[in-house]
Each structure stands twice: as C-alpha cells, then as structure tokens.
Structure 1
C-alpha cells in the first residue's frame, strides 16, 4: 500500500475553537475512504496557530520538520502529502511559495489538495497548466494574507490612537494587578495586589535581595498575582520590578516597536511613582568595572531543561560559576526553602555523563530500539502473517467468504500500519544520533552549544538524585538507564556490553 501523510495548519490560536481543524481532519478521512490503496501515516504534521504568510511554519514549525525529513530522504518516494489547499503550505510571495511546492515534488513526494481534489506529482513540474494553476493559487493566497494584514494593522493603529487620545482601552487584556471596570471602558486596581507590589518596592529600596523578598512574602503567606500562596519566586519579583505598566505605561511588543509603534503613557492606573520605579531600576545596573564573565563558555548549561530534580521535579540550574570553576548543579527551589536537596559538583558529573553516556548515545539508541517497541511490532507482524495464511486456507473451504475477507483486510491493514510505525521509529533514531559529538571541544562556546542541542534532542530527561549522587537517564526513544553514578567513573565499554544481557528497554546499575 502507498503511504499518505497529513499536514494540518491554521494561522491564529483562536481558530482552535472553531471548525478549521475538524474540517481539515474530515477532508483527510474522506480522501482516504475514496483512495483505499493509501494508508495514513501515524505521524501527522500540525502547525496550529502558526502563520504561513511570512514563512514562519517553514522555519520553526512542524512543516520545517517535514521538509527536513524530505531533504534527509526519510519520506518514501511516492508518498502523498495531504493538505486542505496549497495555501496551507505557503502564503508567501509567489516565488517562495512555488519553490516550496517544487522542492517537495522534486523529491518524489506527491501533494494532494483536498478542497479541489488536485493531485500534484513530479510529472506536474512539466505540465504548464498545473504550474500556472499553482502559481495563481499562491498569488491569491498571498494577496488575501496581505489584505488581512493591512486591515488588522490599520484597526490596531486606530485603537492605539483612540487609547492615547481618550484613554479608551484597546483590549480587555491587562496586568494581573488590574481588572476591567463594570462599564468595560477602563481598568481599575485590585487593592490587595497593589499593596503587595508597593511592599515589594519598599523592601527592594531597603536593600533586600530578590530571594529575601521571596522568603518574606512566602513566610507571610501573601497571595501571588495569580491567586496562589507560598509560590513566590525571584523571577516573578524581577519581572514586576521592571514592568512599566506599574507607572501607567502601555508598552507594545518588541515586534511592534520595530514597526514604529509607540508607548502609551497613562493607559493603565498608576501603582507607584516614577521616582520609586526608576530608583529600583538603578539596583539592576552592575557596579563599574565588574566582570560579568559573559565570555565564559561554562555559563552554557549542556543539560539545560533536560536535567530535573528527583524530589520536586524542577529543572536543575547552575550555581557558583566564576572564572575559576564550573560551579554546581542545584535545585532552584532549594533557596526558596521549598526543596532540601543538596547541590552536586558539576565538573565531575559532566565528565562522567559526557564520556560514558552522551558520546555513546547511538549505542543505547540502537539497542533500545531493537529491543523495545520495534521488537514487539515485529513479533506482532509475524503473528499477523500466520493468521492471514490460516484465513486464506479457510477461504478455500468456507461457504461464506465475506467475513473472512474482511478479517484478512483488517489484518493486512494492521501489518502495514506496524511497518509504518517501525519505519518512523527508525527514522527518528537516525535523526537523533546523526550528529557526531565525539570531536567537540567543550571549552569553546560554539561547541558547547552544539553539544547542548544534541543532548536536548537525544535525551527526554535526566533525573538527579543529589542525595545519593546518582541519576536516572531517559533517552528520547524510551530507553532508561537507572542509578547511573554521577561522581564515580564508569567503564563505558562494560556498560554498553551489559546491554546485550537485558531483554527490555531499561538497564539498572
């Protein structure tokens, strides 16, 4: 059977509550019913709330992953990409849009537009009518997006002008210490939150550190701006201290500032004076001549967002890094008195993790894939083929063959589905271990960043037990290495050879 892959996209996050996604899914199902020789891949690419007008979906969305898979040869020749219409692939200018379509077709991947039942193939590149049709669709999509963009910009510009002139609110969106009044035409302070913010500024002006302020607020059980108790943290305090909305200013986003959009003074009710606000801002400026170590390569945490605390689950951070040392791994909740796990030396832990596990990641990936889900699917397919053989024998003597034929059809579909799943798993494996990290110099910032990206793709999480100086390592493909010692060296060859003696996807040390 041929394979089909669905690509679903809509531009605005608010569309998730509408009919767009349901409509696209329905069109995919209808096409598959009309084309039973195609089997839908389990892997569906979705860009939900990502625009194709500026090509964002092709640089950081799921469509980008699809194009990487096409260029890497991981999508089979003759596979059909199912889209509602060509404008789901791109709403860019004609040149970029048609080149994107051509690159897919040149790779031997068909494109099926479900709304008009058009099937583009590699041969379509030599068909003038097909190309002209695609170009016209691309032009229409780009013009529609450009018109929508101009209208939205014009509407927002008018709203901002009215807000600056009369104080009329642009949207009901506002900081958490404010709420919209009953008339719905302006904002008003929430007294409890306003008192808390004034206290935060008072403590900061007295010289209290961010952690000191956090401890005081949590000890006094002061409610947060989100209505919780005991969960104040330094980053929240820092964000409050620099928010110009506290002195009434509406600050546009960075993107709109680049387009010339200005701040609107007096838009929000004032909480504190300008003098107090800017006096606290001075606290954030470093003393003259202080070395901030911005060029220190060890400020790059190789395991950022991957390494977790076993006790509370928070992401482990770095601490006490200076020009002489690499510092420690520590749970951020410890200084907030919400976790009591000790810190652990980073230099030794990094050496053991990198030399024993990270640079040999492909060994764990290969073994776990063959022993894990892929093996069970292979075993299942053997059973499926045996069942099909038995049913074929039964067909020769059975008076009624309809039911048996349906069973054979269902088993055949399951067999193909399992094959697709195994192929996707192997493709993911190849993508995950395709980079060579053995020759990286981890004293260089650029190489440390490459290694960090590799670790982020290869490992799902590394859970630190700093009390026992061990960690549980979970690879992105599901393989687990339990109780790996962080401060004791482990022979990587012995560890890898031990994989041959385990039948599941977990190795306990």
Structure 2
C-alpha cells in the first residue's frame, strides 16, 4: 500500500509525483513477494507542516482505516521518506509513526530503504534516526513558512510605498496589465457598479436593485445575464476595493497589518461609499416598524421553498393578519412557485402541528437531535481550525478567509440552535400555543420561539398546498396538507403509522 504527498498543487506538473511513483514501482519490482494494493492514498497539494494531512487528508483516511481494523497487520506502507507522513514538531511526528507501527502496519521509506516495524520501536538507533529526520523536516518547513511570510511582508511594503502589485489577483471589475505593473478598469463592469451605488442611494432595496438588473439583462461580473442576487449586490456595496483600497484577510489584519489605500484604481468616491454604508446599517435603507404584531413571522427561517430552497418570506401583511407567504426568488424571476395565503397556512400549522407537538415529542425522543447537533458543531470547529492553520501559511488567500467567515456564521447559528433545543419545553406547551390569541406581540413571539424550539425546517410546496416537516428530534412528516385542519383525534391516530422516523400523509 502506497502513500504519496506533495505540498503545492503546482508540484503535480513537476517531478515530485513522477519520482514518488517511480520509487514505488522500483521497490515492488525488487520485492516480488509483495503485491501493491490497488488503493493508493494521495494528498496532492496538502502540507504536512501542521499535521493537516493527518486531520483531513488521505493520511487521515488511512489512519481511520487502521483504527477500525480495515488494514490488516503486516501490511507495508510505502512512502518516499518519513517527512511525507509528517513535518510536525518532533513529538507529534514520531508519535504519528509510533501509532502506525503499534497497529502492526510496517513502513518502508523508499529514499533510504529503511524498513520500520513494531520491533523498531525498541531499537534506539532507528528511533534516533527517525527523530533526526522529523527534526530536519520540521525545521525545513518552519524556514519555508518564515520565508513565505517574509516575502508577503515585503510585497505589502512595496505595494504601500511603491505601488507594486502583491499578486495579479484583483476584483472582477479590474484586470492586471500585460506587464503586471498595475490594474486597468473594465469599463462595462465599472459602469454596472456605479449604477448599483446610484440605485442604492436613490433608496432601492437589495431585492429591488437585483430585479432591475435582471430585468435589464445586465451582465454580472462573471459575464452571465439575469442571475443577479441580493447577496452579490450587498457584497459589492460593502467592498472597499471600489474606492481603491486593498483589504487583507481578517486574520492578517488581526496581526496589525493595515489596509493599503490607492492600491486599485478608484471607481467610487469615498463620500458615495460612506453614504451607502450608512444606508446599509438599516435593512433596505429604512427602519422597520413592528407596531403591527402580524409582522412577526411565526415561522421565520423555518419555512423553505420546495422548488429552490430559499427561505420563504411574508408579503402584503395588513393590520388584520392577511397576506401571503412567497419565495423571494419569485420577484427576481428565478422561481415560479405561487404565493400561498399566510393566515390560513398559520392556522393549520399552529392549530394542528404546534397544538400536537407535545404528542410528537413524547412519541419520539429528541436526545439524538441534540447529540447530532453537538457532533456537527465539533466538526465545524475542526474545519475552522484547519482553515486557520492554512491561513497562517497563506494569509492573503481570500477564499480561505471567506470560508472561515461562513463557517463561523454556521457555528454561531448552530450554537444558538443548540441552546434553543436544550431549553425546549420550558413553561410553554403545544396546547398553550394553540389556545393563544395571536393578535399581540408577546403571544406571537412565544409561539415563534416554540416553533423554533421544535421544528428544524418546513419545506413548503405552495402550488400543491402541502409541506414536508422536519422536527428537531429527527421525525419527518411528509405531504402534510395545508388546505384543511386535521382533527386532533385523527392526527393522534396517525402517529401509529410512524415508520423509520417518518410519518406520511
């Protein structure tokens, strides 16, 4: 069984991959008593400096396979050298090798033809050699890391003092000049961005701007037409690069690295940019008023469109609670699902689903849901830590910092959901919710909190007027009708037909 690794993706076009494969073939030819397994573990373009390959790479899969007994004792792992397995500090690196050998898996290093097995752990000479190799590999990686950080620091200084480019990478409304000495503006994209800022200053909402651009078939910054969305508009409006400012990743900024002014060509003035930022402080450019209690959405963030997956929103809400649930992508011409009456939908979901929630919880324990969410949050923590390790080596790679921001938001949302799930029950019951007068803010907020505590999501088919309900405890209720109110006794009777965590209407 072989393991191949190199640190930089560009090395796949060089000699590293060919050399490692050649060494494997030569060893197999010289040792015909061994047969090479069809499965070769490869970490192509993944560093071993901080043990990343052992945490989320192919080496991680190999270690898991050993842990679960899928790899038999006596199996030989072929590697070019020990530093392919790890470039961590000596203690971590030798412990990695010790773990593999103690499991009965042997390791052959092809560069020096050393053969390690469990008995090698008692051989001082072998251990000293392994420690020296680990020390050399870690020192080499540390030196490379320092050099890389130093190079980026020098590039930032040159960019700030002399206007030299950090990289040819730039926002999509610009492109690097042929000689790499600067950036030039793409006129059509710059015109679009100026138009977006102009619309925002006129009071148009993010959705409104999106609709205008899609109706006019305006090309996006990637060259497509009719696929603008509010998220993209918001990112453009908040991107300081339009004023010519280069912003390093937030992790780099936390180390004291500052923005670089006048790095890019400016297409939006500082004043216009700041005026728009003031508008961005309030959603859609104006304050929301909640004098009308019916503006409190009982199923906010729970209802999702069955067609496109977007969160369902309310529209046309009056002082009597009339209005509609609608997919926000409909107004952007990116979803064709029709609106559905909000008042009657709430009546069914509250009067049937929430009213009987206690019975649903009693018949199906929610402990698994808490454990699953806790495991999920641990995984998110690990992913964030891996990305932060990667950011130490490449602090200016925006994709990494953007991914950290997204995962951090997932983590915050998940932790809030976990607290809500653990506090489920409290003093509120489904029967109490069903009997509430929902024409005041306090009761509507209690009802909404109860729904959030018990329901993960409701995927609603507005055309067929039915929905699929996913509860926090893992129970699924499919094809739940929204056209009629099911009598309490009939609903309770249907619980007898729960099969494989699923109730189908």
TM interval, shorter chain, is 0.5 to 0.7
Structure-1 separation of matches of 2:325 and 2:100? 45
The SS at the match of 1:7 is strand
The SS at the match of 2:267 is coil
Structure-2 separation of matches of 1:259 and 1:56? 23
Say if 1:140 and 1:438 are closer, same or farther in 2 by CA, change over 3 A: farther
Residue 133 of structure 1 corresponds to 129
**Which segment is superposed worse, 248-257 or 213-222?**
248-257
Residue 487 of structure 1 corresponds to 480
1:396-430 superposed Cα distances (whole Å, 9 cap, x missing partner): xxxxxxxxxxxxxxxxxxxxxxxxxxxxxxxxxxx
Contact 1:241/1:280, CA 8 A, preserved across alignment: yes
The SS at the match of 1:8 is strand
Contact 1:330/1:342, CA 8 A, preserved across alignment: yes
Structure-1 separation of matches of 2:130 and 2:95? 11
**Aligned Cα RMSD in Å?**
4.4
Contact 1:205/1:280, CA 8 A, preserved across alignment: yes
Say if 1:290 and 1:29 are closer, same or farther in 2 by CA, change over 3 A: farther
Say if 1:229 and 1:58 are closer, same or farther in 2 by CA, change over 3 A: same
Say if 1:56 and 1:31 are closer, same or farther in 2 by CA, change over 3 A: same
1:186 pairs with 2:182:
yes
Say if 1:228 and 1:140 are closer, same or farther in 2 by CA, change over 3 A: same
Say if 1:494 and 1:243 are closer, same or farther in 2 by CA, change over 3 A: closer
Residue 268 of structure 1 corresponds to 264
Structure-2 separation of matches of 1:290 and 1:41? 67
The SS at the match of 1:51 is coil
Contact 2:305/2:311, CA 8 A, preserved across alignment: no
Say if 1:273 and 1:76 are closer, same or farther in 2 by CA, change over 3 A: same
The SS at the match of 1:487 is strand
1:117-145 superposed Cα distances (whole Å, 9 cap, x missing partner): 22211111111122111111111111111
The SS at the match of 1:81 is strand
Q: 2:254 aligns with which of 258, 261, 278?
A: 258
Instruction: Please state how far the C-alpha of 1:197 moved relative to its aligned partner.
Output: 0.5
1:331-350 superposed Cα distances (whole Å, 9 cap, x missing partner): 775453223246899989x9
Contact 2:301/2:312, CA 8 A, preserved across alignment: no
1:482-503 superposed Cα distances (whole Å, 9 cap, x missing partner): xx9443779777679xxxxxxx
Say if 1:453 and 1:54 are closer, same or farther in 2 by CA, change over 3 A: closer
Say if 1:448 and 1:329 are closer, same or farther in 2 by CA, change over 3 A: farther
Q: 1:168 aligns with which of 164, 167, 188?
A: 164
Residue 88 of structure 1 corresponds to 84
Say if 1:216 and 1:144 are closer, same or farther in 2 by CA, change over 3 A: same
Instruction: Please state how far the C-alpha of 1:319 moved relative to its aligned partner.
Output: 3.5
The SS at the match of 2:184 is strand
* TM-score of the pair, normalised by structure 1: 0.62
1:77-118 superposed Cα distances (whole Å, 9 cap, x missing partner): 222223222111111111111111111111222222222222
* TM-score of the pair, normalised by structure 2: 0.62
The SS at the match of 2:480 is coil
Structure-2 separation of matches of 1:308 and 1:210? 20
Contact 2:80/2:109, CA 8 A, preserved across alignment: yes
Structure-1 separation of matches of 2:478 and 2:37? 40
Residue 46 of structure 2 corresponds to 50
Structure-2 separation of matches of 1:263 and 1:280? 20
Residue 245 of structure 1 corresponds to 241
Residue 112 of structure 1 corresponds to 108
Structure 1: gaps spanning 5 or more residues: 292-297, 322-327, 352-436, 455-463, 472-483, 497-508
The SS at the match of 1:115 is coil
1:440 pairs with 2:367:
yes
Q: 2:210 aligns with which of 211, 214, 218?
A: 214
Structure-2 separation of matches of 1:217 and 1:75? 57
Say if 1:136 and 1:263 are closer, same or farther in 2 by CA, change over 3 A: same
Instruction: Please state how far the C-alpha of 1:147 moved relative to its aligned partner.
Output: 1.6
1:337 pairs with 2:333:
yes
Say if 1:299 and 1:441 are closer, same or farther in 2 by CA, change over 3 A: farther
1:11-35 superposed Cα distances (whole Å, 9 cap, x missing partner): 1222233332333334334434444
Residue 228 of structure 1 corresponds to 224
Say if 1:268 and 1:108 are closer, same or farther in 2 by CA, change over 3 A: same
Q: 2:61 aligns with which of 51, 55, 65?
A: 65
Residue 201 of structure 1 corresponds to 197
1:19 pairs with 2:15:
yes
Structure-2 separation of matches of 1:98 and 1:82? 17
Contact 1:55/1:91, CA 8 A, preserved across alignment: yes
Contact 2:327/2:339, CA 8 A, preserved across alignment: yes
Say if 1:176 and 1:125 are closer, same or farther in 2 by CA, change over 3 A: same
1:356-404 superposed Cα distances (whole Å, 9 cap, x missing partner): xxxxxxxxxxxxxxxxxxxxxxxxxxxxxxxxxxxxxxxxxxxxxxxxx
Structure 2: gaps spanning 5 or more residues: 291-298, 315-323, 355-363, 380-458, 469-476, 482-493
Contact 2:313/2:327, CA 8 A, preserved across alignment: no
The SS at the match of 1:252 is coil
Instruction: Please state how far the C-alpha of 1:150 moved relative to its aligned partner.
Output: 1.9
Contact 1:318/1:330, CA 8 A, preserved across alignment: no
Structure-2 separation of matches of 1:343 and 1:37? 70
The SS at the match of 1:45 is strand
Contact 2:305/2:312, CA 8 A, preserved across alignment: no
